[in-house]
Structure 1
Amino acid sequence: MLFNRPTDDTLYDALLKRDAAYEGFAWVCVTTTRIFCRLTCPARKPKRENCIFEESIAACLEAGYRPCLRCRPMLRYKDNDPTVTSLLEALECEPERRWRESDLLAMGLDLSTVRRAFKRQFGMSFLEIARLRRVGLAAETLAEGAPVIEAQLDAGFESGSGFRAAITQLIGSAPRHLRGKGLLKADWIETPIGPMMAIADDHALHLLEFADRPALPTEIRRIRERTGCGIVLGRAAPIDLVEQELKRYFDGDRAAFDVRIAGHGTPFERAVWEALRQISPGTVQSYGILAAAMGRPGSVRAVGRANGANQIAIVIPCHRVIGADGGLTGYGGGLWRKRWLLEHERRMAAGRGRVEAAE
């Protein structure tokens, strides 16, 4: 167990048994409640298909999950630092608060001591954790069908530019620090259901995600690491093209996309993403049907993971995949957007059918 990550089935079995042997090696994220717990949490156990297992608390937070109030996974550590405990308790009392260094100083805390304590325990600073909690709250607000501006305010951002700047600052170094390195361009694209960030080189699109997706910071860092390129604000031809194609899509004129997509992911993930693009607009498929169509009927869970790893929203239509029971499953952009996109495509398909019948 020290060298190989236990399988998800093993971790789920540990969750059912509340096996303390796995404490600290993994945490369970429950997709239906957007909560993450310790494996020994005494709460009622979620269904297997609603569980995602992460190896760190940072990964749970970056994916937009909030800590369970019953097992309190961020507080229940042996010999926990009292400074860490007091700050996390303060954060849970005011998760929507926009914490600043001045707040910590006002509490009589030493900034470097706090930073070291949180980095040692969680791999990120207290202010980073507080920020992820606010972004997670914004995602929950959007999932409930609230307007983007309401989610923005709930997250503590006073302006739209500040909301976007929160993501923009994650892009990387200033151009003067990137001399001699390859560069990717990043820019915003407005849509009727919220702004999206697009990242591309001169030839292909690397990312297209909604600006308030909790996992967006992780995806940006992953692109930087995989490509070895810096990212700067600017426009590349694929961004211009996908913006035009998105406009036609949202106008109801065309659901197909011709923009070239960069070859990220494993061969299996790329095969899943290509299969997603074969699902006709206005229709949906379950993970099981998608796996069978690929000739991999025993790989339903792997197909689900690949679906979740997609970082080209709408163009690679992972929103067209639903649960085996016909219910909506998780969507990085929020279930309210998934519902909106499916209804939009249903209307597009119905409109085309009426035109063809008239002809």
Structure 2
Amino acid sequence: MILNEERKAEYYKALIEKRSDYEGVFYVGVTSTGVFCRPTCPARKPKYDNCEFYETAQQALLASFRPCQRCQPLSHPNQVSDIIRLLVEAVEVNPEKRWKARDFQALSIDESTARRQFKKRFGMTFVEYARARRMGLALKSIRSGGKIIDTQLASGYDSSSGFRDAFSRIMGAPPTLLDDSRILKATWLDTQLGPMVAIADEKELYLLEFVDRRGLEREVERLRTRLKAAIIPGQTAPIQSIERELTQFFDGSFTEFQTPLHLMGSPFQKSVWEQLRQIPPGETRSYADIALALGKPTAYRAVAQANGANQLAIVIPCHRVINSDGGLGGYGGGVARKEWLLNHEKARGQYD
């Protein structure tokens, strides 16, 4: 991989800042130690002159670098720790359990370590994760006709006000107001370019975004408010479908996204998103090109706004839209990811 100085400086800056949006974009070989690392490696950062950058782990190995023991670049970029895996499994064995300090001690797990690792990976502490799972079961019980008092007690709350408060914080509405509300499930998906979050009901996919996308929390809140929906951890058929298709997309065996989508936008926005889906993989269009295709040649700024409002990354390929001068332009998931996606698609001639 031959880089110009500008690109090398870009990658070094991402390395120093531990930028998660560069995961899968490059690996760094450190000549002073003989190891190669991910961009987010927690180890002390090398000097600029001691860094060599590679597109793949294989290239770094062929250059005689050995994998770093701290960031483990040959494992999945977002592989969960043993602590997270053990605790998630424990929640599934007894999802209605309210965790105490002694429960962590019984598993030989430090409670503060569990809190820190869950917060870093899921954006919530372990206790919050377990509570969300417990509340998801409570919601299911209420919607299937269970009495609120029975659900309250089964969830481990002796106080009805405490149950309502906890329920409202997680679900966005107290239990008595959710009878006609939609239920959406949210799942964390690991990908080659970093973790994504998928949100869907039992029929359609509503949101697919990189976890570190700026403003993701606001997107999720708008989705919940607009639909008057409860969003809880869980799996649905559309989430399972998009997970399979993303795996195919990244490993190069992809043909076409078939997961049913729920598009939330104005008629104009939906028309722009449909144009995006018609751009063949490996090709790009400018905002002006799309405006012209819509019969509104002066609406390129509105096209750009609609492009930015897309909540289904990769599936609706807003990464295939560039500036009229050939520049990459912006991308919610980060410009480095945009460039990687375009190069990946250009290199995969089997895509339809």
Q: Give the Cα separation in 1 of the matches to 2:279 and 2:336.
A: 20
User: Does structure 1 residue 321 correspond to structure 2 residue 295?
Assistant: no
Contact residue 143 and residue 335 of structure 1 kept, 8 A: no
Label 1:217 to 1:196 Cα distance change in 2 as closer, same or farther (>3 A): same
Residue 164 in 1 paired to residue 121 in 2? yes
Q: Secondary structure at the match of 2:272?
A: helix
For 1:165, the aligned partner's letter is F
The RMSD of aligned alpha carbons is: 3.3
Q: Is the 8 A contact 1:167 1:211 kept in 2?
A: no
Structure 1 residue 303 and structure 2 residue 260: aligned?
Answer: no
Q: Verify the 8 A CA contact 1:206 1:261 in the aligned structure 2.
A: yes
Provide the residue aligned with 2:338 in structure 1: 338
Structure 1 CA distance for aligned equivalents of residues 204 and 22 of structure 2: 33
Q: C-alpha displacement at 1:149, in angstroms?
A: 3.2
Deviation, structure 1 residue 323: 0.5
Aligned to 2:347: 347
| Aligned equivalent of 2:40, options 149, 162, 175 | 149
Q: How does 1:1-359 map to 2 (within 5 A)?
A: 138=19, 147=38, 149-150=40-41, 161-166=118-123, 174-175=135-136, 176=138, 177=167, 178=171, 179=175, 180=179, 181-349=181-349
Matched-pair contact (CA < 8 Å) for 2:22–2:193: no
- Count of aligned positions: 214
The residue that corresponds to 1:126 in the other structure is none
Structure whose CA Rg is larger: 2
Stretches of structure 2 that go unaligned for 5 or more consecutive residues are 1-16, 28-37, 46-112, 139-166
Shift of 1:165: 2.2
- Structure 1 residues 143 and 269: alpha-carbon distance in aligned structure 2, compared to 1, 3 A threshold: farther
SS in 1 for 2:231: strand
| Aligned-residue identity in percent | 43
Cα distance in 1 for residues equivalent to 2:264 and 2:324 = 28
In the superposition, the TM-score normalised over structure 2's length comes to: 0.55
Q: By how many angstroms is 1:159 displaced?
A: 6.4
- Structure 1, unaligned stretches of length 5 or more? 1-135, 354-359
Relative contact order, CA 8 A, sep 6+: which one is greater? 2
Cα deviation 1:192-220 (Å, max 9, x = unaligned): 11011000000100100001111110110
Instruction: Output the TM-score relative to the length of structure 1.
Output: 0.54
Q: How far, CA to CA, are the matches of 1:143 and 1:345 in structure 2?
A: 15
C-alpha displacement of 1:263: 2.7
The residue identity in structure 2 corresponding to 1:304 is: A
Q: CA deviation at 1:164?
A: 2.8
Aligned equivalents of 1:270, 1:150: Cα separation in 2 = 40
